[in-house]
Chains A and B, each alone.
Chain A
Amino acid sequence: MRLLMWWSGRALSSAATLLGVSVLIFAAVRLMPGGFAETVLGPFATAEQKAELATRYGLDQPVFMQYGHWLGTVAGGDFGISMISRQPVGAELLARLPVTAELSLLAVAVSVLAGVPLGVLTAVRARPGGGGAAGRLLSGLGVSVPEFVLGSLVVFVFSRYALGLEVGAWVPLTQDPARNLATMVLPAAVLSVFAVSVTARTTRDAVMGVLVEPYVTAAVGRGESPWFIVRHHILRNAAAPVVTLLGTITAYLLGGALIVEHVFNLPGVGSYIVQAVGRRDYAVVQAGVLLAAGVFIVMNVVIDLLVGVLDPRLGVTAGRRS
Chain B
Amino acid sequence: MKRLDRLSLGGLACLLVLVVFALGSLAGAGGDPDAIVGPRLRPPGPGWWLGTDNLGRSMLPRVMEGVGTTLLLSSIAVLVTAAVSATFGIIAGYRGGYLNELVMRLVEVLYSFPAIVLAILVAAVLGPGQVAALASIVLATIPLMTRLVRAAAVAVSQRDYVTSAVISGARLPRVLGRHVLPNVAGTIAVQGTYALSVGIAVEGGLSFLGFGVQPPQASLGVLIQRGGTYMIAAPWLILGPGVVLVVAILAINVVGDGLRDQLEPRETRSLT
Touching in the complex, A and B, CB below 8 A?
Answer: yes
| Nearest CB of B to A187, in Å | 15
A160 touches B232 (CB 8 A): yes
CB–CB A16/B112 < 8 A: no
The count of chain B contact residues (Cβ–Cβ below 8 Å) is 55
Q: Does B88 contact A (CB under 8 A)?
A: no
Q: Mark B107-135, 1 if CB is under 8 A from A, else 0.
A: 01100111111101111111000000000
Assess whether B117 is in contact with A278, with CB atoms less than 8 Å apart. no
B186 at the interface (CB under 8 A from A): no
Within 147-167 of A, Cβ neighbours of B (below 8 Å) are at 147-149, 152-153, 155-156, 159-160
A1 within 8 A of B: no
Max chain B C-beta neighbours (<10 A), residue from A156, A230, A280: A156
Is A143 interfacial (CB-CB < 8 Å)? yes
Q: Of B108, B197, B272, which is within 8 A of A144 by CB?
A: B197
Whether B266 is near chain A, meaning CB under 8 Å from some CB there, is: yes
Q: What string of 1s and 0s marks CB contacts (under 8 Å) between A5-48 and chain B?
A: 00000000000111011001100110011000000000000000
- CA A202 to CA B270, docked complex, whole Å: 19
Q: Cα distance A148–B238 when bound, in Å?
A: 10
* Option from B112, B120, B125, B245 in Cβ contact (under 8 Å) with A149: B245
Main secondary structure of the interface of B (DSSP, over half): helix
In contact, B116 and A152 (Cβ under 8 angstroms):
no
Q: How many A-B residue pairs have CB under 8 A?
A: 169
- How many A residues face the partner with a CB closer than 8 A? 67
Name the distance in Å between A253's Cβ and chain B's nearest Cβ: 8
List residues 247-272 of chain B with CB under 8 A from any CB of chain A.
249-250, 253-254, 257, 261, 266-272
Q: Contacts A140-B250, A153-B238, A156-B238 known; list 14 others, CB within 8 Å.
A: A20-B106, A127-B268, A130-B5, A137-B7, A148-B205, A160-B232, A217-B269, A226-B271, A251-B114, A258-B114, A274-B120, A289-B113, A289-B117, A292-B114
Residues of B within 8 A of A (CB): 5-7, 105-106, 108-109, 112-118, 120-126, 197, 201, 204-205, 208-211, 221, 224-225, 227-228, 231-232, 235, 238-239, 242, 245-246, 249-250, 253-254, 257, 261, 266-272
